[in-house]
Structure 1
Amino acid sequence: MNRFGEQLRSSMIKDYFWHYIAYDDLKDALKTQYVTDPSPSNPKPDRKPWTESDERRFVALLESELDKVATFQSLKSNEIIQRIKASEREVNHVVSRLDIPASGSRRASERPTDEDFLLLEADLSDIIADVHDLAKFTQLNYTGFQKIIKKHDKQTMWYLKPVFATRLNAKPFFKDNYDAFVVKLSRLYDLVRTKGNPVKGDSSAGGGQQNFIRQTTKYWVHPDNITELKLIVLKHLPVLVFNPSKEFEEKDSAITSIYYDNPDTWELYKGRLQKTEGAEAIRLRWYGGMDVDQIFVERKTHREDWTGEKSVKARFPMKEKYVNSYLSGDMTVGSVFEKMRKDGKKSEQQIADWEALAKEVQYRAVTRNLQPVCRTFYHRTAFQLPGDARVRISLDTELSMIREDNLDGRRRAGDNWRRMDIGIDWPFRQLPPEDIERFPYAVLEVKLQTQAGQEPPQWIRDLTASHLVEAVPKFSKFIHGCATLFPDKINLLPFWFPQMDVDIRKPVTHDDDDETDDEVEQRGDNTATDGTQIANPAIYERRLTEATRNELDVEERVGVDFLAGDEDYPLYDSDDESDFDDALEEARRVGGPYYYRMLLSSYLQRTGHITWEVLKAITPRPRATQIPEAGSNGITVLGTGKRTVKRFTAPKGKRIHVPIRVEPKVYFAAERTFLSWLEFSILIGSIAATLLNFGSDYVTFASAWIFTTIAIMCLLYSVMLYVWRVDKIRKRRDVKRIYYEKWGPTMLCLGLLLAVLVNFILRVRHGNGIASDNNSQSQNQIVANMSSYDMRGLEL
């Protein structure tokens, strides 16, 4: 990673140059004078100790920088607000002129033209670009203050961080929420883009959605890229506002879910993690604050692709006052929907569907002893055309996972279905660290409903391939929360868990033939470099989409590097590899002779492994060609320098679950392989039986016994291999021997080769003696025949 000073200089916006934190000046202010002047013999002499006057001087400079940044941020923010209001008045004025008749009126010429809407769109694009620039400005300066304070405390040993945190809170330029800007700009931009005819439909949070099926892909977004990503998406999809009649408030985007599981077996967690057929997740969700009366009870069911069905999320609404009695089984399902049926606002069919679902959820909650274990909270910004769910993008920020259980003796939720000591007051500073996991990234979900063979829109493909996102397939807030909050209860971890320490930010790449902003401004028109006309200024497009190529991430780099290797999944230690470590860790807890036996077995196993590796290293064999590093002969692999690969290993006593796709045909393939082994064993056994029954010398008998031994070994090996494979497939273990077995066929071929060679050698060695014996027997037989012929002749 580059130093922050270099990053700051490279990221500065030209128009804001004089308003950034003077990071280099602050760094210089941390340096005191030298005790003696530098000399060739002592180029870096010691510096004078940090004094109180030095501290006052540095704090005064730091205060002036904070005032400069906070003042500019406040002025620029107010300027953007005024520009949005002015643009809103202009948009409303232009849209109101659409009511003028197109003909037959003296005011027909006052109807807005396409050029009017293009000018409005350009104006809004400039505002969006300014919001993006201000968000970047704020983020960079806040990081700069944090960096310089950390450097100050480390070098001077005068701890300024607690005191300066108070000063930052007094001038919280970094706490501005740009969501209100995004929502307002989205509505105006959609109005202009559709020329005053925005798409209309149901914009509710999901109350009218009973069962819905979507193809979903998930990504992580670094906090530095959140605002930029929102501004890119709103140019294609409007922000989905749940209640357009009221002004946007932060609590309107808050979503809270309570997940249930059996804390003794964690069956729902394991089922969702391993993606077993029919695995369920049961949660209670509400939108907004704690005073919301409507709770949604949801059940997510996973379906394997081979079943021909899709995973489904089903839900039904319930009053908050009924939740406890419903989950405990004290209240019947009919009582829950009794008032709803009397009101007559819902159809009888819909109520009947809800009742069937409610009965199933209640039965599972009671019989499986499901209890609240984990709460997830986040603010969601959804982008979607109202009433059109073909493309839906949601961005969840400020994601937090919170414990809801009573397992360690603390009464968090008590007998209630949720804890009441917190609400939506993120970041929940009242909670102890062991009760909360503040997720470091935002979660982007792209949900598409496309027909068979239909490609997603190009802008979505560009966005998901850009440096702004990191793909994390099958990421689950519930799974991550449980794995993080219950480390002493859960030993099976999701595959993304070890990657939390890896920085997901990626460098922005540039096209060599891209024009600079100055060149675009000098051209002074709305013509793209390829000659096509564009509706928005190219400056904004360059700022937001200057890089759509995504440099290879960790998984992609390792996948390419190991294409010619002998490891199937080099990123993670597989479940099978850590089984013995788990057993050893468990034996350590038990202690006694059992532990020492396991420890001795561990040492013997490691010794054997090391011996085998040494033998492999010294044995002459074909080896892969080593690719030279960059700089040795001018060759650079994958556009990077020296290649380094990080292998993720689970902590002691834990296993990383590597997702494996298991379909019925995998079981059938294992069965067919076993039958092939069985057929081959029977064939070899038949050869052995033939030789044994019809042979008349010891060479034949020796060959028969060798073939019999090979047939028996093949039978035993095939049975054990089949049982082992079926067990690993059922447990979804990532073991490459499930699909690839090199030792069995190799040993079989060597055994058959040995049998043929033994038969040939013995036959050659004893062939002469056997031939002479046969010749003597033939001569005696001829003499006997001739004698009997002579006797018959005499009798005649």
Structure 2
Amino acid sequence: MRFGQQLRSSLVKDWYYYYISYDELKKSLRTDFEHTPLVASGLKKRKPWSEEDEQHFVNELEQELDKVSTFQKVKSQEIIRRINATEKEVSEAIARTEAANQDDRARANAPSEEEYLLLEEDLSDIIADVHDLAKFTQLNYTGFQKIIKKHDKTTHWHLRPVFAARLNARPFFKDDYDATVVSLSKLYDLVRTRGNPVKGDSGAGGKQQNFIRQTTKYWVHPDNITELKLIILKHLPVLVFNPSKEFERKDSAISSIYYDNPDTWELYEGRLKKTEGAEAIRLRWYGGMESDTIFVERKTHREDWTGEKSVKARFALKEKHVNAFLKGDMTTEQVFEKMRRDGKKSEKEINDLEQLAKEVQFRVIDRNLVPVCRSFYNRTAFQLPGDARVRISLDTELSMIREDNMDGRQRCGKNWRRMDIGIDWPFSQLPKEDVELFPYGVLEVKLQTAAGQEPPEWIRELVASHLVEAVPKFSKFIHGTATMFPTRIHLLPFWFPQMDVDIRKPVSHNFGLQRPDNSTDASTSAAMDDDSDDDYDDLDDDQPLNDDENVQRLRAARDALEEHEEERRSEQANGKSNVLDEEERLAHQPVTEADDYPLYDSEDEEEELAEAKRVGGWTYRRKLVASYANLWTDKLLNALKASKPTPSPTENGGTQGKLGVSEKRFKAPKGKKIHVPVRVEPKVSFAAERTFLAWLEFSIILGSIAATLLNFGDTISLVSAWAFTVVAVIALMYSMGIYLWRVDKIKNRRAVSFHDKWGPSALCLGLVVAVSISFAYRFTHGGEGDLRGRT
């Protein structure tokens, strides 16, 4: 819907008069009051925009900004006061509960269940207010941006640069709710558990002998981030590593430096293709640049058929020793010398860490790995303390920054990281080509459940809601490297062409925050499309906006993922083992017979044809003939399929009026290829080999039959032998060609259909023909053959 309609449908009724007067500001842009909008449009008569009109509009805009900013500030202070008051009440109730547990005489003064329920309702109401205030801020900020855009386009007086300074002077839209979320999470967890928050072993759930670990990643639009945090905190508390310390913004900051060889990009391609043993090496620290502890991490991918799990191992290193360690000037024995003296870890643990350090150091030096990309984000983690069975993390303000020196600019120089930036998002001091601000938040859901056990209901509702979009195996390293080096990276991740698709969608079911006393106030998260500014009449916002075709494409892909997820859950419920992860499930989706990739084109054939054209001669002619042959063959097959009678489905009256989703293919940029995850196990190669050997065995049997027929010596036997020999040779050549084709596709990890529809049928037909020839000659020339045999 248009923004004007979205604003009217999303506002909080009690705050009606504090929202931006969007319609009134639009009316102020009109200079044709003597006519109705329709008549004015037909006459094309408009008064020129004057300085008096501009001053009047600016005054109204200033009044609206002052109204919105003042209300947001007052409401924020009110929420803080309510949180402080509720915190005192919760502390008092918990103190009375603890006293009652220790002294029987104090049980009469213990808080009742109704009192805890009232506290929970108060906190739920505050959470709803925080959600509404965040939406209020987002809607009004969007309203100011849109009305300024309309003003500049309609009047041709450029107000945007000047008003941007006014917005920065009253930054109501820059309020950070992270500290509020942490405070509310702590209080809500105390009330929900009646003063007994969950505590336990950090390895809880890890001792099960038969469990399934699922890790799924989602994109979250900035409009939905605060609402998502508030929903999650009602089920899981925010994980705070140092509860005794007051929360600061830098406590949630995480920075990572990724290493690779810029000549081969072997780590990038290994992680993208998910080859067995593919590694990612990064250096990570938490907080600001003053952090002295740097974690050297190595992530190793293991294929499922190996029976091993993908692992992430790391060890700590002082910042002052990083350069010496990476250059080999500092040995691993020196790194862990202090750890051995302290004796806080066992000798075995230290030896394992030292072995890891040796392998990482050798890999960096041997492969000439250098820093190429940095990722920065603020993470909010939700988890029961000491219980890792359910862990949810939300990364916001994700940014990718270049760290290389490849284009002659010394970003990090000989240091292991650049020092001209810290955690000062959005890194406005950097040139545009050095930083990429990721447009979405990244939600990661990690579940560890027993085999056959379903995830919690609220998590299933969350991941199926309008708040998130599934992006299996999204990687910050892969995305950052592909974005920062567009001229050097030619193999792109499968989600890359979808970055310009708006992931916002309407509410699919009644899921969101609700006030305890008013269940009708549901979530107001919905897509807000840009207003059309093509004509002056568009200021009325009367016409609905058509669905974007790109949105339909993405919905089709995401719906296929959700459908595959349901199939996987069904398999788990039936007790099937060897459960695939998200990437593997994507690779096992059914593909169409004519297409190697269901959603993406990599233009391999076009590139090969262009290369052959540059070479010229017979190479180009052969490629051109092959290209036309493939084209006409595809058209002929499509025509035959279209002519085949197929049953038509019965129309369902309940689906009438719904929009159909048309799935299109994404095209890779010229000179680029899109990698689609494909899971390849050794048994796939063995299956192809077994199939070829079966064909070979059958061809040998046919050849043996032909050789046996030759021993009879008559004409009929000779003709039959020739018929069986031809069938055997054709079967042998055909099976060899199919085998080589399959081996090539498996080697290149192409998602093709390996099913052989025509081979077995053609072989049976050939055998029928050979046998028919033998019988036909025997019946038509039987006497002549017998006579020659007797003579």
Query: What is the TM-score normalised by the length of structure 2?
Result: 0.85
Question: Is 2:747 aligned against 1:722?
Answer: no
Q: Provide the rounded CA distance (Å) in 1 between the counterparts of 2:591 and 2:375.
A: 42
RMSD, aligned CA: 3.4
Q: Provide the rounded CA distance (Å) in 2 between the counterparts of 1:515 and 1:159.
A: 40
Cα separation, partners in 2 of 1:213 and 1:706, compared to 1, 3 Å = closer
After superposition, where does 1:571-610 map in structure 2 within 5 Å? 571-573=598-600, 578-584=603-609, 591=614, 594=615, 603-610=624-631
Cα separation, partners in 2 of 1:131 and 1:18, compared to 1, 3 Å = same
Name 2:770's counterpart in structure 1. 755
Question: Is 2:741 aligned against 1:741?
Answer: no
- The answer to whether the 8 A contact 2:72-2:133 is kept is yes
User: Which of 708, 711, 719 pairs up with 1:690?
Assistant: 708
Cα separation, partners in 2 of 1:627 and 1:415, compared to 1, 3 Å = farther
Number of residues paired by the alignment?
733
SS in 2 for 1:407: coil
Q: Provide the rounded CA distance (Å) in 1 between the counterparts of 2:127 and 2:92.
A: 20
The one-letter code of the counterpart of 1:553 is R
After superposition, where does 1:191-270 map in structure 2 within 5 Å? 191-200=190-199, 215-270=214-269
Shift of 1:144: 1.3
Cα separation, partners in 2 of 1:618 and 1:647, compared to 1, 3 Å = closer
Cα separation, partners in 2 of 1:105 and 1:713, compared to 1, 3 Å = closer
Q: Provide the rounded CA distance (Å) in 2 between the counterparts of 1:125 and 1:715.
A: 73
Name 2:481's counterpart in structure 1. 482
Q: Provide the rounded CA distance (Å) in 2 between the counterparts of 1:55 and 1:278.
A: 65
- The answer to whether the 8 A contact 2:213-2:447 is kept is yes
**Any idea what the Cα deviations from partners look like across 1:468-521, whole Å, max 9, x if unmatched?**
11111111111111111112222211111111122211210346xx9998xxxx
The one-letter code of the counterpart of 1:580 is E
Q: Provide the rounded CA distance (Å) in 2 between the counterparts of 1:168 and 1:487.
A: 35
Name 2:65's counterpart in structure 1. 66
Q: Provide the rounded CA distance (Å) in 1 between the counterparts of 2:389 and 2:512.
A: 35
Name 1:272's counterpart in structure 2. 271
Shift of 1:202: 8.7
The one-letter code of the counterpart of 1:367 is D
Name 2:576's counterpart in structure 1. none
SS in 2 for 1:683: helix
Name 1:554's counterpart in structure 2. 556
Shift of 1:648: 1.3
Cα separation, partners in 2 of 1:616 and 1:670, compared to 1, 3 Å = closer
**Any idea what the Cα deviations from partners look like across 1:583-606, whole Å, max 9, x if unmatched?**
356668xx5xx1687765565445
Shift of 1:233: 0.6
Name 2:748's counterpart in structure 1. 731
Q: Provide the rounded CA distance (Å) in 2 between the counterparts of 1:546 and 1:396.
A: 19
Shift of 1:720: 3.0
User: Which of 709, 720, 727 pairs up with 1:710?
Assistant: 727
- The answer to whether the 8 A contact 1:383-1:392 is kept is yes
Q: Provide the rounded CA distance (Å) in 2 between the counterparts of 1:40 and 1:153.
A: 23
Q: Higher mean Cα deviation, 302-311 or 616-625?
A: 616-625
Shift of 1:39: 9.1
Cα separation, partners in 2 of 1:38 and 1:383, compared to 1, 3 Å = closer
Name 2:375's counterpart in structure 1. 376
**Any idea what the Cα deviations from partners look like across 1:229-282, whole Å, max 9, x if unmatched?**
101110111111122122111100000001111111111111111111111111
Q: Provide the rounded CA distance (Å) in 2 between the counterparts of 1:608 and 1:28.
A: 63
Cα separation, partners in 2 of 1:582 and 1:626, compared to 1, 3 Å = farther
After superposition, where does 1:268-667 map in structure 2 within 5 Å? 268-510=267-509, 537=516, 539=518, 543=522, 553-557=555-559, 566=593, 571-573=598-600, 578-584=603-609, 591=614, 594=615, 603-616=624-637, 621-624=643-646, 640-667=658-685
Cα separation, partners in 2 of 1:166 and 1:187, compared to 1, 3 Å = same
Q: Higher mean Cα deviation, 334-343 or 219-228?
A: 334-343
Name 1:29's counterpart in structure 2. 28
Name 1:51's counterpart in structure 2. 50
Query: What is the TM-score normalised by the length of structure 1?
Result: 0.85
Looking at CA atoms only, which structure, 1 or 2, has the larger radius of gyration? 1
Name 1:671's counterpart in structure 2. 689
Shift of 1:3: 1.4
Q: Which has the higher contact order (CA 8 A, sep 6+)?
A: 2
Name 1:187's counterpart in structure 2. 186
The one-letter code of the counterpart of 1:420 is M
SS in 2 for 1:408: coil
- The answer to whether the 8 A contact 2:596-2:752 is kept is no
- The answer to whether the 8 A contact 2:436-2:483 is kept is yes
SS in 2 for 1:676: helix
Name 1:84's counterpart in structure 2. 83
Q: Higher mean Cα deviation, 486-495 or 195-204?
A: 195-204
Cα separation, partners in 2 of 1:746 and 1:75, compared to 1, 3 Å = same
Shift of 1:723: 2.8
Q: Provide the rounded CA distance (Å) in 1 between the counterparts of 2:747 and 2:274.
A: 12
Q: Provide the rounded CA distance (Å) in 1 between the counterparts of 2:292 and 2:104.
A: 53
Shift of 1:19: 1.4
Q: Provide the rounded CA distance (Å) in 1 between the counterparts of 2:667 and 2:394.
A: 30
**Any idea what the Cα deviations from partners look like across 1:667-699, whole Å, max 9, x if unmatched?**
2211221111112211221222222332411x4
